[in-house]
Amino acid sequence: MSNVFYMPPVTLMGPNAIQSLGAELASKELKKALIVTDGVLIEVGLVSKLTDELTAHNLDYVIYDGVQPNPTEKNIEDGLALLAESKADFVISFGGGSSHDTAKGIALVAANGGHIRDYSKGVHLSKKPQLPLVTVNTTAGTASEMTVFAIITNQQDQTKYPVVDKHFTPIIAVNDSELMVAMPKFLTATTGMDALTHAVEAYVSTAATPITDASAIKAIELIVNNLEAVVNNGQDRAARDAMQYGEYLAGMAFSNASLGYVHSMAHQLGGVYDLSHGLCNAILLAEVSRFNAKQVPERFVDIAKAMGIDTAAMTQEQAVDAALEAMDALSEKVGTKQRLADLGVTEDKLAFMAQNALNDACSLTNPRTASLDEIVEIFKARM
């Protein structure tokens, strides 16, 4: 069986990387961008760093700033309408995963037609490349700036679903750590725990390869060693830069090895309760890992070592337990160790969410198969 590895052909990394974007775009004969972002990033002045760069290289643009924290099908439809009206010929997302996922949906549907939901019933279903997409990232978490995933909310039936398509891969990704310095403390924490979840789930995925393994393990090291520092001091440039590399490596891992039950369950919490995706992952990570460790304990021993745990004198079971405890300990230190009930989650919705989680594409590569009742019990353990 052969494997395919997807990632952007060009990624600009490090402090002030956005200042190299205009020159990259100028060589591609693109004329007008649809910038996909949210109003807050405009208000705080971050988007001007992008628009100034475009203007300096004689590139026109129009801005769609209606992106929601859990991006919806309507966000994509509204963006498509502005794209057609403005006659933009490429798309730039500016922000975190919500902006990137919305932009991916817009660019894919613009080129292929139909509705974004049409591309969620399998993987790699689009026939044609999307409109050229450039992603400018402002958070160290989702890695959506470089992955083949987009997560979309259907508000009508309270579901959140992944779309997995190779054509989502942007032509240029930008990870400028200076754009992340002003990120609020709690957003830093939730996106960082999201990145850790990506790395852990990719490492234990049934589709893991040596390439994704290497990316995931290094990502775990970087995130565990730097997340608490950057949550406590957002101006810590070294920690911000390390987190940027950690989340990107985690993206390389899960974009190609996929994910598991943490994400498929978190998607349902987002769809029903509109909760923060990273927070949901943080709450569920150790509990789902406890379930999975019964199938692949040796993988969690490796994760323990990557988290800095000295396992030399431990049994396999002790090393696994130490890894799970370290996940929860980090979550507590950065403020994401919360209970689902305190966030408004009620037990009457658990079976509905569990069924949708099992139908979620991320569940396909979880290392251990769960029943509906087992998924419900995992939810209950974090209530």
pLDDT in tens, 297-312: 999 999 999 999 999 9
- Nearest Cα residue to 233 out of 279, 278, 307, 181: 181
Mean pLDDT of 169-180: 95
Predicted confidence (pLDDT) per residue in 13-70, tens digit? 999 999 999 999 988 989 999 999 999 999 999 999 999 999 999 999 999 999 998 8
pLDDT over threshold 60, residue 1: no
Predicted confidence (pLDDT) per residue in 334-382, tens digit? 999 999 999 999 999 999 999 999 999 899 999 999 999 999 999 999 9
pLDDT over threshold 80, residue 87: yes
3 state SS of 46 = coil
Per-residue pLDDT, 2: 62
Catalogue all structural domains in the chain, each as residue range(s) with its CATH number.
10-179 (3.40.50.1970), 190-235+257-381 (1.20.1090.10)
| Alpha helix segments (H runs only) across the chain | 21-26, 39-43, 47-56, 73-86, 97-112, 185-204, 210-232, 237-257, 261-273, 277-292, 297-306, 316-334, 350-359, 372-381
CA dihedral 89, 69, 335, 365 (to 10 degrees): -70
Per-residue pLDDT, 287: 98
Per-residue pLDDT, 143: 92
Predicted confidence (pLDDT) per residue in 90-144, tens digit? 999 999 999 999 999 999 999 999 999 999 988 899 999 999 999 999 999 899 9
Mean pLDDT of 215-237: 97
What is the number of residues in the chain? 383
- Strand 149-154 with 32-36, pairing: unpaired
C-alpha to C-alpha distance for 373 and 176, rounded to whole angstroms: 44
Per-residue pLDDT, 27: 87
Phi, psi for 351 (deg, rounded to 5): -65, -40
Predicted confidence (pLDDT) per residue in 175-208, tens digit? 999 999 988 999 999 999 999 999 999 999 999 9
Per-residue pLDDT, 160: 83
Per-residue pLDDT, 156: 85
Per-residue pLDDT, 375: 98
Sequence-distant (6+) residues with CB within 8 A of 45 are: none
Confidence (pTM): 0.94
Task: Answer whether 203's CB lies under 8 Å from 217's CB.
Answer: yes
- Nearest Cα residue to 175 out of 195, 151, 198, 155: 195
Predicted confidence (pLDDT) per residue in 236-281, tens digit? 999 999 999 999 999 999 999 999 999 999 999 999 999 999 999 9
Per-residue pLDDT, 159: 81
Higher pLDDT, residue 218 or 123: 218
Mean pLDDT of 314-327: 98
The two three-digit tokens of residue 353, written as one number: 């969410």
Q: Tell how far CA 103 is from the center of its chain.
A: 14
